Structure 1
Amino acid sequence: MEDNNPLDSYSPFERVEDTNIPSKETASPTIGADPDLEDAEIRAYEQRLNILESQLNSQMDQINIARETGSTEPLPNWPKFYPLVHFDIEEVPESLRLFVSEAFYGWFIMAVAFGLNWIGCLTLIRAGNSTDSPGSKIALASLYLFIFVPLALDFDAMSVYKVLKTDTPSTMSYLKIFIFLGITTFFEGILALGLESSGSCGLITMINLFIGGHWFIGLISIIVTCSLGLSCFSHYSLFRKLWSYYRGTADGEDFQGNLKRTFAMAVVDYLK
């Protein structure tokens, strides 16, 4: 009987392929992500790119301005018909733009209210004995309209804009805003009340006009009183919203401690 030795046909230099073992096929990658999620990520990425592009354009504009004028301060661009100050809402974080808008709306309401008050005080010349010293009221109303209103633009509206557009506003910056808004709100409340020495056609002056039978001037005083009250309320509302926002920040949680440290640093810098 013939023996069949399996080693006779074996060669270590020959590669034997086992056809019984299935070869592994490379699986093609499949995209299993949610299309809506991908669209949201793309939109967020595009938004970040737009913000970066806006910041780069702003920096390039500042560099060009510095080369032309020798100053790093941006050129005035607001109001458009006669630029007085630089204002760009895009420089403010989107979550804080509402505060800036309310600050400028409040200032606009105040400007209209003080203008109406000035007109109302002019009509007091025909009010007879219903009001004391209409000339003093006209002088004070003129002072409020032509001096106080421009100052309020700088100290109230522009202060809110300048502080909120910075990356890390200090406690002292917020404190200045609260002081100026508090003074403005209190002052508008006094004018809305209409004391004889306040220089306004407020509530008390309105009542005296109706008692004296000056109905037309009294109706003007009603409009003035409502406009001054609306201006006072708008600034008070802005004060409360900014205070609530500030108290929710890391610095606002320790307001007294940060305030003490700020004053201490200011004293140290002054004594250097």
Structure 2
Amino acid sequence: MPEQANNFPPLPKFLKVKPCFYQNISEEIPAQHQQLVRRIFILWMIYSVTLCLNVIGCIALWAAGGSGTNFGLALLWLILFGPASYACWFRPIYKAFRADSSFNFMAFFFIFFLQLVIAIIQCLGLLNWGVCGWFITITVFHYNIAAGSVMLLTTLLFTLVTVLMALVLIKVHRLYRGSGGSVTRAREEWGDGTWKNAAARGGFNTVDQNAQGPSLPEYPASVPSYVDNRGW
């Protein structure tokens, strides 16, 4: 199979900057886990949209007499957390399900937990942190209802994102532990270097080949079945 060209993020062809990642959930992710990976990807998109709306909310805060520092920090959070959240926690979980990589599962758990902590802080909305959360939105409502209303939308989205992140963390952890994954397994991958080359690993639990979708040569021919009888 020829090497796939990177397709994410989708950029106009006239730009000299090219996509950095190849992403194809329907081909690379086993069928039984595609829905979960798509939901995590949608969660990343919602978070990115929330960061964009947070900039607008901080502009409203600035217009209502707040500090311009909030607007500057909001831009910084958008520039940093938008791309970084994709690269630092979505890509690890994508690669973890794609190739049964315990190392990538552990990377996801560690980074995504930190992301959840950040989301909680953003949801709270501390003063001069560049976010429209509950504390600062309620304060603005006392003297400017219009600005508070604009900020409220971002606050509600931050709340939604925080709840969804907590649910995703719990769901993925249950699946991973149900498959027999552990820190020891991740250390073994790190020690022998197989986390870099998924095809070199063995000992996977086989599943129905029809449920896996097309297999790629750089990934294992079979992946474990993560069992979770509880609903989403």
One-letter amino acid of the structure 1 residue matched with residue 39 of structure 2: E
What's the CA shift string for 1:23-67, capped at 9, x where partnerless?
xxxxxxxxxxxxxxxxxxxxxxxxxxxxxxxxxxxxx222xxxxx
Residues 87-102 of structure 1 aligned to structure 2 (within 5 Å)? 87-89=23-25, 90-102=27-39
1:154 to 73, 82, 87: 87
Shift of 1:163: 1.7
Residues 77-92 of structure 1 aligned to structure 2 (within 5 Å)? 77-82=7-12, 84=19, 85-89=21-25, 90-92=27-29
Structure 2, gaps ≥5 residues long: 13-17, 194-232
Shift of 1:201: 1.4
Quote the Cα distance in structure 1 between the aligned partners of 2:93 and 2:110.
12
Residues 75-154 of structure 1 aligned to structure 2 (within 5 Å)? 75-82=5-12, 84=19, 85-89=21-25, 90-128=27-65, 131=66, 134-154=67-87
Structure 1, gaps ≥5 residues long: 1-59, 63-73, 267-272
Q: Is the 8 A contact 1:121 1:138 kept in 2?
A: yes
One-letter amino acid of the structure 1 residue matched with residue 87 of structure 2: D
Residues paired across the two proteins, number: 186
**CA RMSD, Structure 1 to Structure 2 (Å):** 2.0
The normalised TM-score by structure 1 is 0.63
What's the CA shift string for 1:167-203, capped at 9, x where partnerless?
x41x322110011111111111101100013211110
Return the structure number with greater relative CO, CA threshold 8 A, min gap 6: 2
Shift of 1:226: 0.4
The normalised TM-score by structure 2 is 0.74
Partner of 1:191: 122
What's the CA shift string for 1:4-30, capped at 9, x where partnerless?
xxxxxxxxxxxxxxxxxxxxxxxxxxx
Shift of 1:81: 4.7
SS at match of 2:129: coil
Q: 1:153 to 1:159 in 2, by over 3 A?
A: same
Q: If each structure's helix is expressed as a fraction of its own residues, which one has the higher value?
A: 1
Identity %: 25
Q: Is the 8 A contact 1:117 1:141 kept in 2?
A: yes
